[in-house]
Structure 1
Amino acid sequence: MEGKRVSESRTYMTDLVLPPDTNLHGTIFGGRVMAYVDKIASITAMRHCRKAVVTASSDSLDFLAPIKVGEAIQLEAFVTWTHHTSMEIFCRIQSENLMTGEKRLTATSYLTFVALDEDGKPAIVPPILPEVDEEWWHYNTAAERRETRLKRRKDRAAAEISYAH
């Protein structure tokens, strides 16, 4: 299967943070950010494999700074690595003060998606072809993140079995 460049599926999304999107502190709800992240990552994964996808894992969502009411939330997502039927997606979340133009990194996230065929079974995905330094960094560090995910899944399954007895 022919590989695809990261740029072919890179996705951007911008929205205005309004009062109903915010908590008592006037900052965006974390759950709202999570929904945006899952949505943009889904679009990115589908663009890469041109198939239906499901979220298999949300490895991390690290909140670094708040996004305030009246600011724009800007998300960027791209495929960092592929395995046989899965894709790792990185998402960068920024805020923009629309009055000053100041932008600030507010969160980052890694997610894993599995491509599905017409029968809902896992489907093979094209390999990813990194081109620039940032893409290569994510690509070169992805195998370690995958091992951590697999270990976490195995450990949780073993814990569930022991709790059941």
Structure 2
Amino acid sequence: MPRSDLPPATASAPIEARLQEIVFPDHTNHLGTLFGGQALAWMDKAAFIAATRYSRRTVVTARSEQVDFRLPIRQGQLVETIARVVEVGRTSMQVDVELVAEDLLSGERETCTRGRFVMIALDSRGRPVAVDPLPG
């Protein structure tokens, strides 16, 4: 018998979320590049959305792992934050996130930052709850 606190399972649950932002002066450090804390906030937000859409549950961040800041992202660039659910445990989802900077005038795009976030699904009482495995 199905439990009433579980959302209906769906085979077509989205595993990806994409967000876009422009790097404005209030997002930058003293060098005119994206402040690392702002990058992490955008990455965490995208991981949250991807995990929530996949699980259709309330989720919280359990951990961020191995965030690599490879290239600076400059003021005025468009940043696309791409988050993908790549692994699912019993109650956790691992979400890979990348920041891709785009020069709006030339169209040149570069992946600048990558990281992995572990998100935990919660039930209505705030306790970890099982998540459906990734399809196929």
TM over 0.5: yes
1:45 aligns with 2:51: yes
By how many angstroms is 1:33 displaced? 0.2
CA RMSD of the aligned region, Å?
Answer: 1.6
Q: Counterparts of 2:27 and 2:18 in 1: how far apart (Å)?
A: 20
Over 2 Å off, 4+ runs: 1-5
Task: State the match for 1:18 in structure 2.
Answer: 24
* Structure 1 residue identity aligned to 2:108: E
Greater per-residue helix proportion: 1
The secondary structure found in structure 2 opposite 1:101 is coil
Q: Taking structure 1 as reference, are residues 120 and 17 closer, same or farther at Cα in structure 2, changes over 3 Å only?
A: same
By how many angstroms is 1:3 displaced? 7.0
Task: State the match for 2:94 in structure 1.
Answer: 88
2:63 and 2:117 in contact (8 A); partners too? yes
1:26 and 1:68 in contact (8 A); partners too? yes
Structure 2 unmatched ranges of 5 or more: 1-7
By how many angstroms is 1:20 displaced? 1.0
1:3 and 1:127 in contact (8 A); partners too? no
1:77 aligns with 2:83: yes
Give the alignment's TM-score, normalised by structure 2.
0.89
Greater per-residue strand proportion: 2
Task: State the match for 1:36 in structure 2.
Answer: 42
Task: State the match for 1:111 in structure 2.
Answer: 117
The secondary structure found in structure 1 opposite 2:66 is strand
Q: Counterparts of 1:20 and 1:119 in 2: how far apart (Å)?
A: 37
Give the alignment's TM-score, normalised by structure 1.
0.74
By how many angstroms is 1:59 displaced? 1.0
* Structure 1 residue identity aligned to 2:31: H
Q: Counterparts of 2:83 and 2:65 in 1: how far apart (Å)?
A: 15
Q: Counterparts of 1:8 and 1:43 in 2: how far apart (Å)?
A: 10
2:14 and 2:50 in contact (8 A); partners too? no
By how many angstroms is 1:60 displaced? 1.7
Count of residues in correspondence between the two structures:
129
Percent same amino acid among aligned pairs? 33
Task: State the match for 2:107 in structure 1.
Answer: 101
The secondary structure found in structure 2 opposite 1:80 is strand
Task: State the match for 1:137 in structure 2.
Answer: none
